[in-house]
Amino acid sequence: MSKVDHTFPFERRKFIKLLATTSALGAVCSFIPGHTVWAIDSAITSNAAFSTFLKVSETICGYSTLDSALGQRIFTLMQQRNASLGDQLNSLQSLLNADMSSAEMQGKLQSVDKNQQALFSDILRAWQLGIVGTGKEARVVAYEFALMYKPIADVIVLPTYAHGEPHYWAHPPVFKNA
């Protein structure tokens, strides 16, 4: 009989215990407040431009309250793309009010410049689709929590992942002969 040389620093049981411990520790740490993916930065939520952004977003989207963590992410990305976002938000806020219907909003938007119209569309797209920007500059900020799923949430299970390549549903299905 030959002797087994245990020069490897970890034995299998020690490795499994270490793996189980780190997995449990990771699970516990994920429940600690302040370690969320979209942690709210107190400096941005107290920002007047951010407050205006949320009020304008609620008016545009038609919801009385929107998720401020998601709003922070959208606002930050929009602010990076648009240096004059604060001024444009103020003028949009003075133009729109929560009592307006969609048709009235569209009528008011016809009287403003293209930048205001583009900002209106960008805000609506960001909340409804969960995407800020277009083309190669587009950034996904929400998928499962995009507002487009809110009206159908009680009927359809929300997709939490893409089922194929972009626009996969536009192609007709391929049938194979048996």
- 68-114: pLDDT as tens digits: 999 999 999 999 999 899 999 999 998 888 888 888 888 888 888 89
Q: How many CB atoms lie within 10 A of CB 76?
A: 14
Look at residue 62 and tell me if it is in a domain. yes
Average pLDDT, whole number, for the chain?
81
Residue-range definition of the domain harbouring residue 104: 42-161
Look at residue 32 and tell me if it is in a domain. no
Q: How many domains in the chain?
A: 1
Look at residue 14 and tell me if it is in a domain. no
Query: What is the pLDDT at residue 46?
Result: 59
Which residues are CB-contacts of 78 (< 8 A; sequence separation ≥ 6)? 53, 85, 122, 123, 126, 132
Look at residue 79 and tell me if it is in a domain. yes
- The structure's pTM equals 0.65
Query: What is the pLDDT at residue 18?
Result: 75
CA distance 170 to 40: 37
Q: How many CB atoms lie within 10 A of CB 60?
A: 22
Look at residue 2 and tell me if it is in a domain. no
Q: What is the pLDDT of residues 101-146, one digit of tens each?
A: 888 888 888 888 898 999 999 999 999 999 999 888 899 998 888 8
**Cβ atoms of residues 49 and 82 within 8 Å:** no
Look at residue 70 and tell me if it is in a domain. yes
